[in-house]
Amino acid sequence: FFIEMQKKIIVTGAAGFIGSCLVGKLNELGYENLILVDDFSSILKEPNWVNKKYEMCIPREDFLQGVHECSCDIEVVFHLGARTDTTEMNEKVFDALNLTYSKQIFNFCSQYRIPLLYASSAATYGAGELGYSDDHHLIPLLRPLNPYGISKNEFDKWVLQQNITPPFWAGFKFFNVYGPNEYHKHRMASVVFHSANQIRNTGKVRLFRSHRPDYADGMQKRDFVYVFDVIETLIRFWQHRPVSGIYNLGTGKAEPFLRVAEAVFEALEFSPAIEFIDTPIDIRDKYQYFTQADIRKIQATGLTPDFTSLYDGIIDYVGRFLKYQKYY
C-alpha cells in the first residue's frame, strides 16, 4: 500500500482552470505525489499552481520525451490539457495540441497499462441536431460547430477505434463548467465570471441578444456544472473504475443565462440591471442556444455527486472566490 501511494499522479493542463482545481482537491485529500504538466510560461496562470503541493512541473513539450523512463511509477494520468479557445480557427493548432498530443498520451497509457481519464467537450454536439446522448454509436455522426469541437470529437472517434487501450479509460464531455481559477481565460471564461466582473465594474450585466425567433433574449440555455462536482467525479472514476467509455459530465438540467445573471446579482447584493447586445458576428453561426447533458449513463455508475444547483454554485463561487479574487 505504501509503495502504491508513492506512485505518481500525472495531471496535464495543471496550470489551467479545471486541472488546477483537480490538483487542489488532490492536495486536500493528501496527495502530493503529483507531476504537473502544462505550459507554465503564462504569468496569468501562475497563481493557479504556484502554491499547490507537487513533486515537479514539466513543460508540456518535454513531458512525452522523458516519461517513458518512469512509466512503472505512474498510478494514473488525468489528461486535461488542451487548447480550448472556441474562436480559434487555425485547425493546425488543434491538430497538434488536442489531437496528436492526446493520441500520444493514450498510446503511452495503453503501452504501460496506466489508467487514463481525459477531457472531451460538449462542443462536440454542435447545434444539438442529434440531441445530447453520449451513446458511442452517435459519436461518428456528430457535427461540431468549430475547430475546437471538431478536434475533441475526432479524438473521441479515434479512441473508440482503438483495439489496444489503457486498462481503464474514460473521456468526459464537460458541459459549461464554472468555478474558481478561471481568471486567466479572458473571453473563454464562464458567463458567471464575466457577469460578476461586469456588475462590479458597471453595475449591470450584458447578455447576448437572441438571433433566433424561438428563443427570447437571455433564454438561451446551457447545462452549467460547478467545477467541484466535475473534479469529484474524476477522482471517483479513477478510484472505482467503472466501465471504460465516453461520458457526459453535466447536471442534466439546462438553465437560461438570465437565471445566471440574476443569481450573480444576488450574490453580489446588487439590484438586477441587464442589457442585451448583439452576439458577435464571428461566433453567431457557431453559437449553441441549448445544451443539456443526457446523464443516464454516468449516473448509472453510481459515481456522480449530488450535483450542486446553479443557484447554490453561483452563490458559493461568487461569495467564496470572485468577491475576493481568491484562488482554490
- 185 belongs to the catalytic site: yes
Give me the residue label for grid cell 502504491: 4
Is residue 149 within 8 A of residue 173, CB to CB? The reply is: no
Cα separation, 127 vs 148, in Å, equals 14
Q: Out of 103, 157, 185, 204, pick the active-site residue.
A: 185
Q: Distance between CA 79 and CA 102 in Å, rounded?
A: 8
What is the Cα Rg of the chain in Å?
19
Per DSSP, the residues of 133-173 read ---GGGGGG---SSHHHHHHHHHHHHHHT-SS--SSEEEEE
Interatomic CA distance for residues 278 and 212, integer angstroms: 12
- Beta-bridged to residue 246, according to DSSP, are 171
Assign 105 to helix, strand or coil: helix
Output the CA angle 37-27-55, nearest 5 degrees.
45
Residue of 125, 132, 148, 226 with catalytic role: 148
Q: What's the distance, Cα to Cα, between the start and end of the chain in Å?
A: 29
Instruction: Give the residue numbers annotated as catalytic, written as ranges.
Output: 148, 185
